[in-house]
Amino acid sequence: MTTSAAPRYAAYAGLLVLGFLVGTAGALVQAAWFPLGLLLALLATAALFYGGMRATGTQIGLAAAGGGWLLAVVLLSFGRPEGDGIFGGGLGELLFLFGGMAAAVICATVGRPPQNLP
């Protein structure tokens, strides 16, 4: 690993953690203030994905943020053995899950970073 790659890897790790935090916060907000909370959570998710891609200049930034977000959403969907869980299985939870995945796909295909041509 060269010294110029270290900041990029640190940015990817930071985006992974930030994606986990946005996924967790979005899961809480979308259930608490439905439907405006769902809209807020999806806007934050899309902004994170697009911002991660633009900040790093690669789609790996988007994938790192998306990976953290997906990890949080999947872990929170499991619930606990006692029956407690963040996601209750309603329409809002499904819209948050599929809307977040759609936002990642849209950002990856439409908002490609400009290529630096010599």
Give per-residue pLDDT as tens, 44-88: 999 999 999 988 988 899 999 999 999 999 988 887 777 666 666
- Which tens digit of pLDDT belongs to each residue from 14-29? 999 999 999 999 998 9
Question: Does residue 40 surpass a pLDDT of 90?
Answer: yes
Average pLDDT (87-93) is 78
3-state SS string for the chain: CCCCHHHHHHHHHHHHHHHHHHHHHHHHHHHHCCCHHHHHHHHHHHHHHHHHHHHHCCHHHHHHHHHHHHHHHHHHHHCCCCCCCCCCCCHHHHHHHHHHHHHHHHHHHHCCCCCCCC
